[in-house]
């Protein structure tokens, strides 16, 4: 019977789940944002990712139950697993997912209205798909809740893929209004196993307790060691660990590691596309499609296929349990094993044909409201195509910028059947060194020490509601070198602005004179001027008196020149004048209009000057 269970477990595998990185999508100050938003236009001229540590990503997702669902405190104050409660929280199909990636190389630079980047990224994905009935069968056997119905294990399995991505990326900015970008990726596969499971189940007849098995699968592997069942049935992989020549050729013995790292014949292509558009000065629309592509697996491949198989054993007169105790298990070992194994062999075949797998396509769509050039609010939608259906997520985020020094984001998201996901991210620029750390769920860190976070000292329950419901954990951090960020314009000084408003400009905005001649006879060689101040008061000056605000008065240029010569003694506003020395104002003076973005800097993923 152990061999039957082992055969079933080995053949039941499922497909890869895609990683999610909500918080990075809202951090345009980080160069790696282009990996989730290909149309984002970085605001630095040169970006260099430090090898390996420029981008380190890891995540763990469990859709079946949260940490708080599997623990309870008994009368002695000891934490115990609460399996029944965990089962009640599960859906029919559940996933446990681990994702990881790191940038080995990242380089990006801006040239005119274009941004180019190149990255080499190592990626790893592991998925365990477990149906609810599998947990029930393990805890209760095939009686009780499963008696008289089919215990469905459809979708049960593991999936594992390890590959490297070489990518070139290009973004183009069009008239500071919208941008579009694309990333072309060459994919080098190292290991994979994947399986399409049509169905598998065990049915126990409610009256006769006859067992009916049904199964159909097509299981494929590449680059994995060979696993044999019963000494003569190849099940997984194609690399014979007992064959020294094959071990050397594959690079698994360490003596020929280059063959493993670079020379396996598992190649593919991928494509990312993105488009960002400023609907107006306040609203930015973003759309990205990621991981359109495939990998062809040709090195050390193995296909294990079981044609549609049904088998019924009704020779038992008494109730039995597959995972019970006593003679029933011994009986199954002696009677069922031989007959079922023989039937399986007749329907099973093993080959070494090549195969292909598709990337898990992901879609991001976002609408962002630009409060000002420091504050942004966005609503984002996420979808991933997994197992012939779309899995969706939703997130809202607030992003704050403090010049080029700091960028911070807070978010709330819903995905993987989880509603307790509070994200946070921060990016600091210390000169050319950028350090960032992001997480889609800060609550996950509270589950690292279950006893302290789920129980208090007096033994009563103290589980935080949000922490109790945590199903997802994710972290993304790195260090980059960034150069050539646009400097923010220094705001106009309020005193200077008031002085500018107080100066007579010769004409008001309607084209009428603001300088009124009083009498040519009152002073030699000229006329007096009357200036209307912002407070409503008026001042009158004679031609021969020093005008401390003469810089902006085009009608008194010659007198302004004279006043400059004596500015060290008589011009009490000389410091302000020196600051503005290079800016020669001609014509009308107006109060500076506040811009929604600093002049010369980028505006939120599209290089835009307002």
Q: What is the pLDDT of residues 464-498, one digit of tens each?
A: 545 667 788 889 999 999 998 876 554 444 444 45
Q: Is residue 293 within 8 Å of residue 325, measured between CB atoms?
A: no
Check residue 106 and give its pLDDT. Answer: 96
Give the up-direction half-sphere exposure of residue 542: CA atoms within 13 A in the CB hemisphere.
8
Check residue 275 and give its pLDDT. Answer: 95
Lowest mean pLDDT among 31-45, 104-118, 570-584: 570-584
- What would the mean pLDDT of 283-306 be, rounded to a whole number? 94
CB atoms within 10 A of CB 329: 16
Closest CA to 518 of 506, 532, 528: 528
DSSP string, 235-265: EE-SB-TT-HHHHHHHTTTSTTHHHHHT--S
| Most confident residue range from 179-188, 208-217, 326-335, 578-587 | 179-188
Q: Is residue 330 within 8 Å of residue 389, measured between CB atoms?
A: no
Check residue 263 and give its pLDDT. Answer: 92
Identify whether residues 402 and 501 lie together within a single domain. Answer: no
E-strand ranges in 155-250 read: 157-174, 178-204, 211-222, 227-229, 233-236
Closest CA to 395 of 375, 372, 415, 374: 415
Check residue 13 and give its pLDDT. Answer: 32
Q: Whose structure tokens read 């499963």?
A: 146
Identify whether residues 461 and 572 lie together within a single domain. Answer: no
Identify whether residues 395 and 464 lie together within a single domain. Answer: yes
pLDDT band of residue 536 (cuts 50, 70, 90) is low
What distance in Å separates the CA atoms of residue 242 and residue 225, rounded to the nearest whole number?
Answer: 10
CB atoms within 10 A of CB 361: 17
End residue of a domain, out of 483, 516, 541: 483
pLDDT band of residue 26 (cuts 50, 70, 90) is confident
Identify whether residues 27 and 130 lie together within a single domain. Answer: yes
Handedness of CA 364, 58, 102, 26 (dihedral sign): positive
- What would the mean pLDDT of 32-50 be, rounded to a whole number? 91
Whether residue 239 is contained in a domain is answered as: no
Please tell me whether residue 578 adopts helix, strand or coil conformation: helix
Check residue 236 and give its pLDDT. Answer: 87
pLDDT band of residue 389 (cuts 50, 70, 90) is low
Check residue 419 and give its pLDDT. Answer: 80
Please tell me whether residue 575 adopts helix, strand or coil conformation: helix
Please tell me whether residue 219 adopts helix, strand or coil conformation: strand
Q: Is residue 222 within 8 Å of residue 297, measured between CB atoms?
A: yes
Check residue 141 and give its pLDDT. Answer: 81
* Mean pLDDT computed over every residue of the chain: 75
pLDDT higher than threshold 50 for residue 579? no
What distance in Å separates the CA atoms of residue 494 and residue 500, rounded to the nearest whole number?
Answer: 10
Instruction: State how far the alpha carbon of 114 is from the alpha carbons of 25, 172, 506, 555, in Å.
Output: 20, 5, 45, 46
Check residue 331 and give its pLDDT. Answer: 57
Please tell me whether residue 259 adopts helix, strand or coil conformation: helix
Domain assignment of residue 541, given as a range: 494-579
Tell me the angle at which helices 2-11 and 337-347 cross, rounded to the nearest 10 degrees. 30
pLDDT in tens, 396-407: 999 998 888 899
Lowest mean pLDDT among 4-8, 58-62, 333-337: 4-8
- What would the mean pLDDT of 426-443 be, rounded to a whole number? 92
Q: 59 φ, ψ to 5°?
A: -150, 155
| Most confident residue range from 152-156, 226-230, 255-259, 426-430 | 426-430
Whether residue 366 is contained in a domain is answered as: yes
pLDDT band of residue 448 (cuts 50, 70, 90) is low
End residue of a domain, out of 429, 451, 483: 483
What distance in Å separates the CA atoms of residue 288 and residue 476, rounded to the nearest whole number?
Answer: 20
Q: Is residue 100 within 8 Å of residue 17, measured between CB atoms?
A: no
Identify the residue with better confidence: 419 or 248: 248
Identify whether residues 533 and 512 lie together within a single domain. Answer: yes
pLDDT higher than threshold 70 for residue 161? yes
- What would the mean pLDDT of 118-137 be, rounded to a whole number? 89
Whether residue 586 is contained in a domain is answered as: no
pLDDT higher than threshold 50 for residue 57? yes
pLDDT higher than threshold 60 for residue 528? no
Whether residue 248 is contained in a domain is answered as: no
The two three-digit tokens of residue 110, written as one number: 């801006």
The two three-digit tokens of residue 380, written as one number: 């984002």
The two three-digit tokens of residue 236, written as one number: 């997984």
Identify whether residues 479 and 498 lie together within a single domain. Answer: no
Identify whether residues 380 and 499 lie together within a single domain. Answer: no
Handedness of CA 6, 7, 10, 14 (dihedral sign): negative
E-strand ranges in 63-113 read: 71-73, 79-81, 93-111
Q: 289 φ, ψ to 5°?
A: -125, 120
Looking only at the bridges linking them, the beta strands covering 233-236 and 227-229 are antiparallel
What distance in Å separates the CA atoms of residue 503 and residue 500, rounded to the nearest whole number?
Answer: 5
DSSP string, 336-405: IHHHHHHHHHHHEEEE---EEEE---EEEEEEEEEEETTEEEEEEEEEEEETTEEEEEEEEEEEEEETTT
Check residue 32 and give its pLDDT. Answer: 92
Identify whether residues 363 and 298 lie together within a single domain. Answer: yes
454 class by beta-carbon count within 10 Å (0-12 exposed, 13-18 middle, 19+ buried): buried
pLDDT band of residue 539 (cuts 50, 70, 90) is low
Identify whether residues 386 and 460 lie together within a single domain. Answer: yes
pLDDT band of residue 14 (cuts 50, 70, 90) is very low
Whether residue 236 is contained in a domain is answered as: no
Lowest mean pLDDT among 31-40, 112-121, 267-276, 579-588: 579-588
pLDDT higher than threshold 90 for residue 37? yes
Identify whether residues 442 and 377 lie together within a single domain. Answer: yes
Check residue 129 and give its pLDDT. Answer: 83
pLDDT band of residue 154 (cuts 50, 70, 90) is confident
Give the up-direction half-sphere exposure of residue 321: CA atoms within 13 A in the CB hemisphere.
15
Please give the DSSP secondary-structure letter assigned to residue 576: H
Whether residue 302 is contained in a domain is answered as: yes
Whether residue 127 is contained in a domain is answered as: yes
% of the chain beyond a pLDDT of 70: 67
pLDDT band of residue 15 (cuts 50, 70, 90) is very low
pLDDT higher than threshold 50 for residue 563? no
- What would the mean pLDDT of 522-543 be, rounded to a whole number? 52
The two three-digit tokens of residue 361, written as one number: 């396509």
Identify whether residues 67 and 139 lie together within a single domain. Answer: yes
Check residue 576 and give its pLDDT. Answer: 46
pLDDT higher than threshold 60 for residue 200? yes
pLDDT in tens, 207-252: 877 888 888 888 899 999 999 887 788 888 999 999 999 999 999 8
Identify whether residues 121 and 15 lie together within a single domain. Answer: yes
Closest CA to 278 of 610, 534, 503: 610
What distance in Å separates the CA atoms of residue 74 and residue 72, rounded to the nearest whole number?
Answer: 7
Please state the domain count of the chain.
2
Q: Is residue 270 within 8 Å of residue 359, measured between CB atoms?
A: yes
- What would the mean pLDDT of 389-417 be, rounded to a whole number? 86
pLDDT higher than threshold 90 for residue 299? yes
Identify the residue with better confidence: 470 or 413: 413
Whether residue 235 is contained in a domain is answered as: no
pTM: 0.72
What CATH number is attached to the domain comprising 203? 2.40.160.40
């Amino acid at each position: 019977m152990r061999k039957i269970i082992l055969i079933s477990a080995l053949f039941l595998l499922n497909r890869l789940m895609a990683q999610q990185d909500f918080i990075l999508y809202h951090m345009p100050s980080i160069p790696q944002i282009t990996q989730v938003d290909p149309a984002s236009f970085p605001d630095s001229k040169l970006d260099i990712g430090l090898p390996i540590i420029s981008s380190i990503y890891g995540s763990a997702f469990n859709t079946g139950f949260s940490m708080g669902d599997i623990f309870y405190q008994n009368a002695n104050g000891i934490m115990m697993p609460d399996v029944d409660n965990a089962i009640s929280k599960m859906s029919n199909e559940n996933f446990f997912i681990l994702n990881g990636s790191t940038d080995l190389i990242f380089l990006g630079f801006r040239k005119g209205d274009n941004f180019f980047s190149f990255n080499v990224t190592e990626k790893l994905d592991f998925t365990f798909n477990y149906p609810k009935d599998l947990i029930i069968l393990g805890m209760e056997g095939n009686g009780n809740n499963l008696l008289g119905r089919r215990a469905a294990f459809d979708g049960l399995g593991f999936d594992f893929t390890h590959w490297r991505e070489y990518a070139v990326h290009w973004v183009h900015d069009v008239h500071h209004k919208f941008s579009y970008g694309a990333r072309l990726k060459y994919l080098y596969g190292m290991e994979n196993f994947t399986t399409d499971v049509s169905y598998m189940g065990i049915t126990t007849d409610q009256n006769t307790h006859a067992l009916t098995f049904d199964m159909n699968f097509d299981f494929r592997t590449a680059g994995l060691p060979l696993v044999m069942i019963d000494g003569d049935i190849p099940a997984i992989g194609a690399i014979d660990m007992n064959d020294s020549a094959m071990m050397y050729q594959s690079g698994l013995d360490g003596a020929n590691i280059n063959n493993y790292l670079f020379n396996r014949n598992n190649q593919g292509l991928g494509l990312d596309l993105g488009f960002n558009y400023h609907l107006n000065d306040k609203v930015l629309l973003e759309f990205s499609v990621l991981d359109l592509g495939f990998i062809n697996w040709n090195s050390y491949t193995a296909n294990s296929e079981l044609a549609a198989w049904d088998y019924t054993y009704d020779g038992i007169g008494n109730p039995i349990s597959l995972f019970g105790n006593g003679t029933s298990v011994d009986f199954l070992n002696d009677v069922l094993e031989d007959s079922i194994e023989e039937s399986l062999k007749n329907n099973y075949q093993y080959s070494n044909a090549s195969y292909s797998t598709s990337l898990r396509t992901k879609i991001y769509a976002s609408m962002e409201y630009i409060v000002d050039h420091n504050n942004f609010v966005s609503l984002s939608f996420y979808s991933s195509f997994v197992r012939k259906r779309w899995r969706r997520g939703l997130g809202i985020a607030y992003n704050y910028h403090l010049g080029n020094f700091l960028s911070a984001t807070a978010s709330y998201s819903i995905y993987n059947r989880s509603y307790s996901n509070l994200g946070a991210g921060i990016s600091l620029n210390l000169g050319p060194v950028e350090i960032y750390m992001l997480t889609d769920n800060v609550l996950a860190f509270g589950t690292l020490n279950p006893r302290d976070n789920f129980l208090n000292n007096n033994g009563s329950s103290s589980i935080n509601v949000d922490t109790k419901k945590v199903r997802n954990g994710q972290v993304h951090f790195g260090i980059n070198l960034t150069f050539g960020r646009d400097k923010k314009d220094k705001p106009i000084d309020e005193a200077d602005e008031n002085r500018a408003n107080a100066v007579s400009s010769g004409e008001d905005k309607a084209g009428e004179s603001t300088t009124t001649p009083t009498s040519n006879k009152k002073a030699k060689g000229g006329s007096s001027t009357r200036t209307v101040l912002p407070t409503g008061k008026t001042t009158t000056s004679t031609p021969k008196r020093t005008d401390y605000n003469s810089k902006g008065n085009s009608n008194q240029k010659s007198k302004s020149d004279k006043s400059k010569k004596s500015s060290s003694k008589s011009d009490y506003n000389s410091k302000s004048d020196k600051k503005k020395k290079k800016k020669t104002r001609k014509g009308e003076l107006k109060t500076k209009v506040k811009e929604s973005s600093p002049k010369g800097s980028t505006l939120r993923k599209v290089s835009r000057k307002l």
